[in-house]
Amino acid sequence: MDISVVVPLFNEEESIAELHAWIKRVMDKNGFSYEVIFVNDGSTDHSWEVIEKLSQEFPEVHGIKFRRNYGKSPALFHGFEQAKGDVVITMDADLQDSPDEIPELYKMIKEEGYDLVSGFKMNRRQGDPLSKTIPTKLFNATTRMVSGIHNLHDFNCGLKAYRKDVVKHIEVYGEMHRFIPYLAKNAGFNKIGEKPVHHQARQHGVSKFMGWNRFVNGYLDLISLWFIDSFGMKPMHIFGFIGTLMFIVGFIAVICVGAFKLYAMYTGGHYALVTDMPYFYISLTMMILGTQLFVAGFLGDLISRNSQERNKYQVEKVI
């Protein structure tokens, strides 16, 4: 099979049939053998009924139905598991990603030898408020710096193409779909490219991914991924270093406080050390608690990543 198209969706009943018809026109025109995998992420509308109807009429249509909403990463994870095509294309179901880009994306993977090609919607932010464009630019700039993938401008673009080996050797969990290029790079797939793609206005419904929380969560996920990549197999290198440094600093501070007190007692003078101020103890307590919370969060992420339940979701039905 040439191509698997994986489409995660949540409450997109108006656009599913239109998207499939568009994909079918492109595939038939170019003579591709293909499948379309719709992953219904706990939709509360009639999205699943539309998918079932399409699957009865078109044998290339497959479906996965979650019992409840889990998020885009779990949907992609299950879609990647089912994909059989030599090239796997992901796109959103809201018709903002154009299936007309598929032939060129396929060519970049099969003929130009890329492992992963990410779309770049150059006209996407035109007309968007600064409250949306500025966080997006900052997020992408930070991700480029941390990941070392400097040629990508839009990590969160849903339109991407992958060599089959890539999706079979990476694990997308939690909210890591934003960082699939980073995951691919960490797995040894280093030929990552970008293609400018056309961005269309949403025709039905409203965006399911709005608000500042997704940008905050994006940064938290990026920090977590960087820590796991850098220290996941050697946590003592970071925690041992910090712990040793804190112990040495504390030990030196105790020696200094004791020396000052002994000196003051010996000379009979008055001593007023910073340790006599309550602010010193408050600041010290906050630093210790902050360190403990950060370490606890990181250890929790490590445990979650190595848990057998990390990618276990309730799948109600598979077509």
Tokens of 135: 């966080």
C-alpha–C-alpha distance, residues 214 and 270, integer Å: 56
Residue 25 has pLDDT above 90, yes or no: yes
The span from the first CA to the last CA of the chain, in angstroms, equals 18
Q: How far apart are CA 218 and CA 136, in angstroms?
A: 10
Higher pLDDT, 219 or 27: 27
Which one of 141-150, 242-251, 297-306 scores highest in mean pLDDT?
141-150
Among 14-28, 228-242, 257-271, top mean pLDDT goes to 14-28
Burial class (CB in 10 A: 0-12, 13-18, 19+), 198: middle
* Spatial separation of the C-alpha atoms in residues 133 and 285, rounded to whole Å: 38
Q: Has residue 21 got a pLDDT over 70?
A: yes
Of the chain, the percentage scoring pLDDT greater than 90 comes to: 43
User: Taking Cα atoms as reference points, which of 144, 164, 171, 313 lies closest to residue 232?
Assistant: 171
Of residues 135 and 269, which shows the higher confidence score? 135
Q: Are 10 and 42 in contact (CB under 8 A)?
A: yes
* pLDDT of the residue at 237: 61
**Which of 154-158, 268-272, 278-282, 290-294 shows the highest mean pLDDT?**
154-158
Alpha carbon of residue 194 to chain centroid: 17
3-state secondary structure of 156: coil
Higher-confidence residue of 231 and 50: namely 50
CA-nearest of 116, 108, 102, 110 to 36 is 102
Residue 19 pLDDT exceeds 90: yes
Q: Are 31 and 56 in contact (CB under 8 A)?
A: no
What does the pLDDT look like over 152-173, one tens digit per residue? 988 888 899 999 999 999 988 7
Whether pLDDT at 271 is above 60: no
Going 274 to 275 to 277 to 281, the CA torsion angle's sign is positive
Of 19, 20, 90, 9, nearest to 48 by C-alpha is 9
**What is the pLDDT of the chain when averaged over all its residues?**
81
Angstrom CA distances, 17 to 21, 22, 55, 57, 271, stand at: 6, 9, 11, 11, 81
Residue 132 has pLDDT above 70, yes or no: no
Tokens of 62: 């497959």
How many angstroms separate the CA atoms of 115 and 193, rounded? 8
For 220-254, the pLDDT digits (tens) are: 777 777 776 766 556 656 666 676 677 677 677 76
For residues 96 and 200, the answer to whether their CB atoms sit within 8 Å is yes
Tell the residue number behind the tokens 């003929």, with chain if given: 111
How far is the C-alpha of 161 from the C-alpha of 145, rounded, in Å? 22
H/E segment holding residue 301: helix 278-305
C-beta atoms surrounding 218 within 10 Å: 21
Cα separation, 166 vs 34, whole angstroms: 18
Taking the model in full, what pTM does it have? 0.73
* Tens-place pLDDT, residues 104-126: 999 999 999 999 999 998 766 55
